[in-house]
Amino acid sequence: MTTKVDLRSDTVTQPTEGMRAAMARAPLGDDVFGDDPSVNALQDKIAAMLGFEAALFVPTGTQSNLCAILAHCQRGDEYIVGQMQHCYRWEGGGAAVLGSVQPQPLNHQADGTLALADIEAAVKPDDPHFARSRLLALENTLGGKLLPMAYIEAATTLARSQGLARHLDGARLFNAAVAQAATTGAEARAEARRIAGCFDSVSVCFSKGLGAPVGSALCGSAEFIARARRIRKMAGGAMRQAGGLAAAAAYALDHHIERLADDHLLAKRLADGLTGLAGLQVEAPQTNILFVDLVGSARDQSEALLQHLASQGIQATGLYRLRFVTHLDVDAAGVDRAIAAMRGFFSN
């Protein structure tokens, strides 16, 4: 086995030569003084692309969501969120720990959406017994699932009618946009803007499928971003000469959006290659994330399977529910190696 096929996450990508060149020649300044031209250019670019007044470059998607929730909510407020969303489940409880903002988690439906009736029922009346319901947070894609556009419109319209602000954790917004564009025939950028247009704030990760090494952007109104900037400082995320990182992100926006379609095709190729193997239940992927459940007696072999995959240079996450993520640094040959390794294991 020569190189590894790393399907653990789309965060593992290396910057391309072109991206490294863009990083190397980026003009720099002190961004805490607002002086970094490359950071400013990136913020202007992503804000314009998604139809917002302003944007803020932050080190991580986690910090971006934290800045968003704390800029929308005060102490004693709550945000309505899905059980499996990153900004509830995977961020160390940051909004509660650092902002005294309580989550009101809801169960997802099979397609990843939150039932409109559940959202409506979760909004608390103005009564001293209750936290103040202040924000609805959605995520798209969610575990690789594309939220239907009609649903996003309905959920965000409902939230607005209930007086809630609306935040989108769009870490993989461009995966959603590319997948949606494949069905509407519109351009991916237009779909991204259409999705973003339903929200008061949107967070986008550059370090996932877009293939940049570091960074996210939070987008919103100028007044909202000014509040978020204060929180970013408080959270220790105001960087100085961050322009090299911003240049990588800007390069990704110029060169790596349309190619996400390749990742989606590879996830489908992997799913097709695994479908029909006894002991596996393969969920049809909508974007770049494939979940495969071990069922029946195959569950007893999960450790052995992971060891076998590792011995073949195939990296994935999960135990009984394996997760394979395709990205810039995986090609068809790598996917075929993963299929061969899985088939090899189950044919024995």
The residues of the shown chain that bind ligand PLP, judged by CB under 6 A, are 60-62, 65, 86, 139, 169, 171, 205, 207-208, 216
Using alpha carbons, select from 62, 13, 51, 48 the residue that is nearest to residue 250: 48
In angstroms, the CA 95 to CA 97 distance is 6
Taking CA 346 as the corner, what is the angle to CA 345 and CA 348, rounded to the nearest 5 degrees? Answer: 75
Closest residue to bound ligand PLP by CB: 61
With the C-alpha atoms ordered 313, 319, 325, 326, is the resulting torsion angle positive or negative? positive
Nearer to ligand PLP, 69 or 305 (CB): 69
Residue 78 contacts residue 131 (beta carbons within 8 Å): yes
Nearer to ligand PLP, 69 or 330 (CB): 69
Nearer to ligand PLP, 213 or 334 (CB): 213
Nearer to ligand PLP, 289 or 335 (CB): 289
Shortest reach from residue 1's CB to ligand PLP, in Å: 28
In angstroms, the CA 71 to CA 113 distance is 24
Using alpha carbons, select from 27, 48, 46 the residue that is nearest to residue 38: 27
Per DSSP, the three-state class of 242 is coil
Residue 345 contacts residue 305 (beta carbons within 8 Å): yes
Nearer to ligand PLP, 202 or 270 (CB): 202
Nearer to ligand PLP, 31 or 139 (CB): 139
How many angstroms separate the Cα of 28 from the Cα of each of 44, 97, 243, 253, 272?
A: 16, 34, 5, 19, 46
Residue 270 contacts residue 343 (beta carbons within 8 Å): no
Nearer to ligand PLP, 171 or 342 (CB): 171
In angstroms, the CA 88 to CA 281 distance is 27
Shortest reach from residue 81's CB to ligand PLP, in Å: 12
Shortest reach from residue 159's CB to ligand PLP, in Å: 19
In angstroms, the CA 235 to CA 260 distance is 32
Shortest reach from residue 2's CB to ligand PLP, in Å: 29
What's the token pair of residue 172? 């993989």
Nearer to ligand PLP, 138 or 341 (CB): 138
Residue 327 contacts residue 211 (beta carbons within 8 Å): yes
**Concatenated DSSP letters for 138-163?**
EESSBTTBPPPHHHHHHHHHHHHHTT
Nearer to ligand PLP, 70 or 294 (CB): 70
Please name the helix (run of DSSP H) or strand (run of DSSP E) that holds residue 325, with its range, or none: strand 321-325
What's the token pair of residue 337? 């190696």
